Structure 1
Amino acid sequence: MIGIDGYCRSLCGTKVQQSMQCATLLIACALFSPISAFGSDFSLSADPPSCSPGQSLRWRGGTLRLENDLFTGSDRNYTNGVALTAVSRDLQGELRPECLPQPIGLYARFIGWADPGFWRDTGDQPASQNLVVRFGQSMYTPEDKTRTDLIADDRPYAGLLYLGLAWNRRIHPQAASYEMLDVRELTLGVIGPWSLAEKSQDLVHRVRGIERFRGWDNQLRNEPAFQMAMERKFKSYTEGAVQPGWDSDVIGSYALRIGNIETAASTGLEWRAGWNIPNDFGSYPIRPGAENRPPSAVADLRTTTPQSALAPKPGAHVFLNLEAKAVAWDFSLDGNLFRHSHHVSRRPWVVQAAIGISSQWIVAGHGVRLAVMRVWRTREFDQQIGRHAFGSIALSIEF
């Protein structure tokens, strides 16, 4: 039987080697190869025996997020981000990687190897867990769009195209008044022209009749992108899909992200107030761990008759999100990791604030949610003139 390493090398020896896909594939294999031995006692067959529907991967919905600083009247720095995510139903019972598609099963084994405590039962009540797949693109530009030369004292032209795979594990400790959401997300992608940031921006500017940026020839060079994100969020425990009636709550979080996309540690708070607040862990701009929902078992109650008191209900709430971050590396400021490139003097501390409104409805038996927010971010590098702001909009649907 061919091993993971040999399989990857065979792919890179064929037509894959003509693109950055080979480098990204090799990174994935480097991550997963230790766990092929670690989890060798598991079967990875396409049709594993005795897998219940609750142990298999089934999708429950998705979210489309768009962020752009044109919403705030500017066109610079973090100028555009788009992400499409798919969210699975909660997996039931003991996690069985052999019951999942092979790449996802391998990732579950990798987490077990790198962070054994993530899957370990520590006496908590049974945890619910689900999977999130995220595909997205981010782009960054300097302020002066007319210059074709390298602008040494402004942010580099940079783009990122990526695919993220996240596990969400929701835990309610016994007899506790709070619950936690633990997230482990692996992101793989590409930085540079192969991110298609220039082509995407030119297309949007052409359609909208906006002058295009002329300095993309100076953008960061092609290189593989990777990041491992670990985050914990916590809030008061609630049963059901919403907190019924008028209410408010506070969600705390702390996170660590490691990789050449970003290496940073952060902590944050979100305050929410409104009518029928969803039993989830808040609304965030595009970042690892941003996609979470009420447990799928209570979300399914929206179609029952008569309606359960725990079922999803229409509602709306306002929210305020504050986050402080210590940054050790940011590709959009520090440039390429594996070669010399344009970079600026990154600031080690960044504070971000977001204010917005979110509402949810039941439409033809499906859950629909819309969240809109405005985000402010302090200066990220010494040469930056003033803080930056952008708008974010997210549309979610429950199948």
Structure 2
Amino acid sequence: MKFWTLAPLAAVFALPIALRPVPALAQATPDNSSIWTLQDENASISAGTPTDRFYVNGLRLSWFSPTTVVPDFLADLGRTLWGPGELRVGVDLTQQIYTPANTSLSVPDPRDRPYAGVLLGNFSLLGDTEDTRSVFTISVGVVGPGSGAASLQNGFHDLIGQDHANGWDHQISNTPVFNVMHERTWRLPMGKVWGLETDALPSLTAAVGDLRDYIQTGIQFRIGQGLDSDFGVPRVRPGLSGGDVFKPTRPFAWYVFVGGDGQAVGYDLLLNSHPFRGGPHVNPIWDVGELQGGFAVMAYGMRLTFAYVMQTQEFEHQTGGLHQFGSAALSIRF
């Protein structure tokens, strides 16, 4: 049986474990640095053909606070959810663009992925211990023309001399969205190979709302130096994400990684359209799998990461095999 079919089932039984408190950081010292991250994911960074299709682009700007400026009521919530540890609050603005495979048609193929744009404000509470990272996120925003996706895509195509995507008049209409997500990642050291550190990063995610309901579980394996500096590379969710927060434990830290995840998807507005108003839609595939690999480099208070992602079909009649895209992020501590 497929890994991504078994993985969501395992996540259902593992979820109560993920919500249990975990040991605190031993003699943790406050971190007075905030962290800014700029990230872009793009299907043009792909070995697939054609490239500009399905999940086309994800752009994200985020900020995470120092550990010393978390409001008391959020600190109490973090201790209630996860026990003692280092807490931070974060906000980010995310835009995502989705199109069908054939963007030359003025009236899109009804069996192809609908045009959709997403604009989200995400508000997060993050808690770290020596070997776990927990994240609770509330997302609010809009799907539809109000996201600005059509203007951004076609404006960028004008800039680089590419044809417009012609079917944006048929995108999913303006719909307010609200989602809640909880995620935990474990860091499990696995000893040294050729003098380099190795570890595993199993994770479990659950999200519910009117944008996307899903359970995700996955694992990543890393080899490098200074692996205790973070919990893996960031991703625009859904997907395996170690988050934006990093604390370098050596002047130069680096690693390469490979991993995979499985998602059990109950509802996806971007495929199903609005359940009461209708609109363009396709039949989703409930079990979605991803493989990803890449690297991270940390030096001089900065972290540069890259992940190459291959994703199984998300809806019936999806063509072109595995959907592929690249994800790059730069994080800076201030």
Query: TM class, shorter-chain normalised?
Result: 0.7 to 0.9
Cα distance in 2 between the residues matched to 1:269 and 1:328: 21
Asked whether the 8 Å contact 1:190–1:223 carries over to 2, the reply is yes
8 Å Cα contact 1:132-1:291 kept in structure 2 = no
The structure where strand makes up a greater share of residues is 2
Change (3 A) 1:249 1:76: same
| Residue in 2 that maps onto 1:266 | 216
Among candidates 364, 388, 398, match of residue 323 of structure 2: 388
| Cα distance between partner residues in 1 of 2:127 and 2:204 | 15
**What amino acid does structure 1 have at the position aligned with 2:163?**
E
Give the counterpart of 1:81 among 51, 58, 65: 58
Give the secondary structure class of the aligned counterpart of 1:71: coil
Give the match for residue 397 of structure 1: 332
Please state if 1:119 is matched with 2:119. Answer: no
2:138 to 174, 181, 186: 186
In structure 2, which of residues 72, 75, 91 is the aligned counterpart of residue 96 of structure 1? 72
Corresponding residue for 2:235? 285
Match of 2:264 in 1: 326
User: 1:21 corresponds to which residue?
Assistant: none
Residues 7-46 of structure 1 mapped to structure 2, 5 A cutoff: none
Cα drift, residue 277 of structure 1:
2.7
Counterpart of 2:317, as a letter, is: Q
Q: Distance in 1 between matches of 2:106 and 2:265?
A: 30
CA 1:163/1:95 → structure 2, altered by over 3 Å: closer, same or farther?
closer
What is the CA-CA distance between 1:58 and the residue it aligns to?
6.9
The reply on whether 1:375 has 2:309 as its aligned counterpart is yes
Match of 2:108 among 150, 163, 166: 150
Query: Offset of 1:338 from its aligned partner?
Result: 4.2
Number of equivalences: 296
CA distance in 2, matches of 1:368, 1:348: 38
SS at match of 1:233: strand
The runs of 5 or more residues in structure 2 that have no matched partner are: 1-28
Q: Within 5 Å, give how 1:212-361 maps onto structure 2.
A: 212-236=164-188, 246-287=196-237, 290-294=242-246, 311-361=249-299
Q: Secondary structure at the match of 1:285?
A: coil
Aligned-residue offset at 1:171: 3.1
| CA positional deviation for 1:75 | 0.7
Counterpart secondary structure, 2:220: strand
Q: 1:373, CA displacement in angstroms?
A: 1.5
1:131-172 superposed Cα distances (whole Å, 9 cap, x missing partner):
121101001000111111132110000000010001111235
Superposition misfits of 4+ residues, deviation over 4 angstroms:
none
Deviations 1:268-289 (A, max 9, x none): 1011101333521111421276
Partner of 2:227, secondary structure, is strand
Q: Note if contact 1:91-1:128 (Cα within 8 Å) is conserved in structure 2.
A: no
> Once the two structures are aligned, what percentage of the paired residues are identical?
29
Looking at both structures, which has the greater relative contact order when contacts are Cα pairs under 8 Å and sequence separation is at least 6? 2
Judge conservation of contact 1:184–1:231 (CA < 8 Å) in 2: yes
Q: Deviations over 1:190-238 (max 9, x none)?
A: 0100000000101111111111100000000001011100111111379
Question: Which residue is equivalent to 2:161?
Answer: 209
SS at match of 1:119: helix
- TM value normalised by structure 2: 0.82
Work out the CA distance in 2 between the residues paired with 1:270 and 1:82.
Answer: 23
TM-score, normalised to structure 1, is: 0.69
Q: Which of 34, 38, 41 lines up with 1:67 in the alignment?
A: 41
Counterpart residue identity of residue 387, structure 1: L
The offset of 1:290, in angstroms, is 4.6
Q: Highest Rg: 1 or 2?
A: 1
Query: Which has the larger helix fraction?
Result: 1
SS at match of 1:354: strand
SS of the aligned residue for 1:167 comes to: strand
Structure 1: unaligned runs, 5 residues or longer: 1-53, 98-107, 113-117, 173-178, 239-244, 300-310
CA–CA separation in structure 2 for the residues paired with 1:214 and 1:95:
47
| Counterpart code for 1:82 | L
2: CA distance between counterparts of 1:215 and 1:292? 35
